[in-house]
Amino acid sequence: MTADEILNLPFASIADAIGAHARERPHATALVLNDQRMDFATLDERIDRVSASLQRDGLVAGSVVAICSQSSLDYAVLLLGAIRVGVVFAPLVASAMPETLAAMIADADAKLLFVDSRSADWLFSVAHAISVPWITMGPSQGEGPFEDWLVPPGIRPQPVTVRPEWPFNIIYSSGTTGVPKGIVQSHALRWGSLRQTSNRGFGRDMVTLASTPLYSNTTLMSTLPTLARGGCVVLMDKFDATVFLDLAQRERATYAIMVPVQFQRILACPGFDNYDLSSFRAKSCAGAPCPIELKREILARWPGQFFDVYGMTEGGGVCMLAAHDLPDKLHTVGKPLPGHEMLIIGEDNKPVETRKSGEIVGRSYNMMTGYHRQAGKTQEAEWFSADGQRYLRTGDIGYFDDEGFLVLIDRKKDMIISGGFNIYPSDLESVLRTHPDIAEAAVVGVPSRQWGETPVAFVVQKEGRTTSPESLREWANLKLGKTQRLAELHTLSDLPRSAVGKLLKRELRDRYLQTPSRAGSKH
C-alpha cells in the first residue's frame, strides 16, 4: 500500500506508514539532530533492526522496554522499532531521582533498559535494584553498545499485525512524591491523534522543530504524526532559546509545539525580531495554561497560525483555540475538537449549566486505557454519565461561555480556601504578571492559623530589575480583593519546573514549609 492509502485507513500502524514513505521517498530527510541527518530509508532499515533484535531477545507484543535518555536519533529509532512489533515502550524522565526511576522500571515490568551515558551514571547508585539488562546508546548514530546489540543490516523482523487496543506506550506522570502513575496509551489513541493533525499543516513538506524531550507526551504528539505523514523532525537534545531560533531559521521550520515558558524565553531573546521565521505555518502551546498577554505577543511577533491546545496526557477531551482567527477569545482555550465531548460537573458529580463553573471532564478516542497496575487510581480518574459513557476527570476548574468556548479557572488541587473563601491562584498570578518588573509569577496556598490557608507569591523579575519583594507585594495587594491579598511575596532567580517546563507548585510549597519557623506560624 502507498503511504496515502495507509494514512486514509481507519487504523494502521504508525511504523507501517513510515515504511511506506521509505519505499516512496527513500532519500527524504526524516530526522535531524545537530549535524546528524537520517533519511527515511535509513530510518526504516534501523527500525527493522531494532524490531528483529527485540524479537531475538524474546520480547513479544505486550512486552515492555524502558528508555532513560536525552533525545537522540537512536532514541527515535528504538521507540519506532518497538511499536512496529507491538512491544510497548516506557519513556522515563531522565532527570527523575534514581530511586524513582528504578521504581518505574520495576513497575513497568520492563524486559530491557536503554540508557545514554549520562543516565547510566545517574542510575549507578541504584543499579542493584534494577534487575533487567542495560544497553547504552551513544550520542550519535552507530556509537556505543546499542550498535553491537542490533542484528546485522538486512535482517527483518517477523511480521506482527498490530491491534488498535494494544498498549502503545506507558508514560509516567511527573509526580514529585512517591512513584508516578504509569499512563497506558493505546495504538488506537496514537492513530486517532495522527488523523486529527491535518488542519495544522502536517504533511510531507513539514519540518517540525521538537524542542522538548522525546519522553514527553507533548513531543510524541508532534513527532509521530510528522514522521507518519512523511515530514521531517528536527530534534533538540537540550532546549536553548537561541539555539531554537538558529535551528528554526536554518532548517526552515514549519511547526513547533511548546509549553508557555519556552515561548516566553524565545520571545525574550535579544534579536528575536531579526530572525527569519517566515517558514512557520503554525505553532501550538500546550502542557500548561498560556497567559493571555503571551498569546497576544506570539500573534504580534511570530509569523504563522497559533493554536492554544488544552488536554491531558491521560486524555479525555481536547480543546483547541485558533488564536489567529479569534483574537477576542484569547481568554479561553477554544472549543472541543470534533469527536471530543467535554462537560462541567459540580460538587454533586452532576453536569452544570452553561457559565457555571466546576470540574472539567472529557471523552474521545484520546483516552488512556488506565493507570498501569493501579485499578483504584484509574477508577478515581473516571466519571460516568447517566447513560454510562466513560469520561476522564481533568482536575481542572472551568466553565463554558454562551458560545461554547472553555474558560479555565485553575487546578482543583491548587485552589486556596482562606477563611471560607475560594481563591484561585491563577487570578493572582494574572495580576502579578501585569507589573512591569515581573517576568513570571506563581502563587501557592500555605497553612495559616488564622485563615486555614493563605496565598504566598513567588516571582521572577525581568533582567536588570531589582524592585523589593515588599514593594511588589504592596502593589499587588492594592489591586487584589480583600480575601485575595498576599501574605508574603518572594523573588527567585527561576521558578522550579519539570523537564518539559511545567511549573512545580508543590516544590514551591514544600520549599516554603521546610524553612524554619514558617509553617503556619506567621499568618
Write out pLDDT tens, residues 79-129.
999 999 999 999 999 888 899 899 999 999 999 999 999 999 999 999 999
Q: Give the C-alpha separation, 405 to 344, whole Å.
A: 12
Residue 386: pLDDT above 70?
yes
Predicted TM-score (pTM) of the model is 0.86
Read off the pLDDT of each residue in 208-226 and give the average, rounded to a whole number.
94
Residue 396: pLDDT above 60?
yes
Which cell numbers in the block locate residue 189? 489513541
Give the residue range(s) of CATH 3.40.50.980 domains in the chain. Answer: 3-186
pLDDT reported for residue 483:
85
Write out pLDDT tens, residues 442-455.
999 999 888 889 99
CA gyration radius, the chain: 23
Which cell numbers in the block locate residue 93? 524522565
Q: Give the C-alpha separation, 482 to 455, whole Å.
A: 12
Kindly report the average pLDDT of the chain as a whole number. Answer: 93
Write out pLDDT tens, residues 298-340.
999 999 999 999 999 999 999 999 999 999 999 999 999 999 9
Pairing of strands 452-461, 488-491: parallel
CATH number of 311-411: 2.30.38.10
List, in sequence order, the alpha helices (H) in 252-325.
260-267, 292-301
**Percentage of residues in the chain with pLDDT exceeding 70?**
96
Write out pLDDT tens, residues 327-336.
999 999 999 9
Residue 519: pLDDT above 50?
no
If DSSP codes are grouped into helix, strand and coil, which group holds residue 278? coil
Listed residue (239, 234, 229, 330) closest to 280, CA to CA: 234
The CATH T-level fold of domain 415-513 is GMP Synthetase; Chain A, domain 3 (3.30.300)
Give the residue range(s) of CATH 3.30.300.30 domains in the chain. Answer: 415-513
Write out pLDDT tens, residues 236-257.
999 999 999 999 999 999 999 9
Cα angle for residues 505, 506, 510 (degrees, 5° grid): 120
pLDDT reported for residue 201:
64
Which cell numbers in the block locate residue 239? 532546549
Q: What beta strand segments (E) does 92-197 contain?
A: 112-116, 134-137, 167-172, 182-186
Read off the pLDDT of each residue in 412-416 and give the average, rounded to a whole number.
87
Beta-bridged to residue 371, according to DSSP, are 183
pLDDT reported for residue 502:
81
End-to-end Cα distance, the chain: 69
| Between 504 and 420, the higher pLDDT residue | 504
Residue 484: pLDDT above 80?
yes
pLDDT reported for residue 177:
46
Pairing of strands 282-285, 64-68: unpaired
Q: Give the C-alpha separation, 475 to 457, whole Å.
A: 13
Listed residue (466, 509, 463, 461) closest to 488, CA to CA: 509
| Element of type H or E holding 30 | strand 29-33
CATH architecture of 3-186: 3-Layer(aba) Sandwich (3.40)
